[in-house]
Chains A and B, each alone.
Chain A
């Protein structure tokens, strides 16, 4: 199975800050990576597919990059609604696996 390691596991930031979350795959997954946002008690929301393709309706302050084993999600100009938990997911092969999540908290 492909292991996905996210870091940090939690981060505190202020409105307006820039935050970067990283995700490392235990083996190469090309660009078959997605990022999701999940708020407490809510359903996960797909933000980015294919490592860098922004989903329709997702603000442009979200940016994904990377390929192979190393990926990043950058949020520029944090807004109050961005405080949530973020997960990466590899879609290269079954079993699909997720990172453990990064909780983005308000400083």
Chain B
């Protein structure tokens, strides 16, 4: 079964850091790009970050709202994608989902989400 399990969320103070993990199974992780989204309470979906497969250079893309603060990475040997979140702000409070983008574009597999709350 193709599956993503996201984890690492929690309560953190503004300005601190947190690292989310997305553990994949059921498919060849290294062949696929990976991406992170978030959804603030009662709000819509927001794309956060994207990482290409090594075959496409492993390069990354970021939403303007997180660029310079968040870092997406991957460990293909462990089938895990990460989202390192630094200098967290209260507006980063959301459920964070990792997803597999089919053809690099359409999110056909999603993790169940992990909740990040940034508050003092």
Contacts and interface: CB of A to CB of B under 8 A. Distances in A.
* Co-assembled chains A and B: yes
Interface of A: 1, 32, 34, 36, 38, 43-46, 49-50, 55, 87, 89, 91, 94-101
Of the four ranges (under 10, 10 to 19, 20 to 34, 35 or more), the interface on chain B belongs to 20 to 34
Given A87-B45, A101-B44, A94 B61 contact: yes
29 contacts: A1-B64, A34-B106, A34-B107, A36-B45, A38-B45, A43-B110, A43-B113, A44-B107, A44-B110, A45-B110, A49-B102, A49-B103, A49-B105, A50-B106, A55-B108, A87-B44, A89-B45, A89-B47, A91-B104, A91-B105, A94-B61, A95-B61, A95-B63, A95-B64, A96-B35, A98-B45, A98-B46, A98-B47, A100-B44
Given A43-B111, A43-B112, A43-B113, A91 B44 contact: no
Contacts of B111: 43
B70 interface: no
Contacts of B112: 43
Nearest to A97: B47
A101 B42 CA distance: 11
Interface string B21-34: 00000000000000
Interface of B (DSSP majority class) = strand
Nearest to B65: A95
B105 A34 contact: yes
Q: Report whether over half of chain A's contact residues are helix, strand or loop; otherwise say mixed.
A: loop
B114 to A, nearest CB: 12
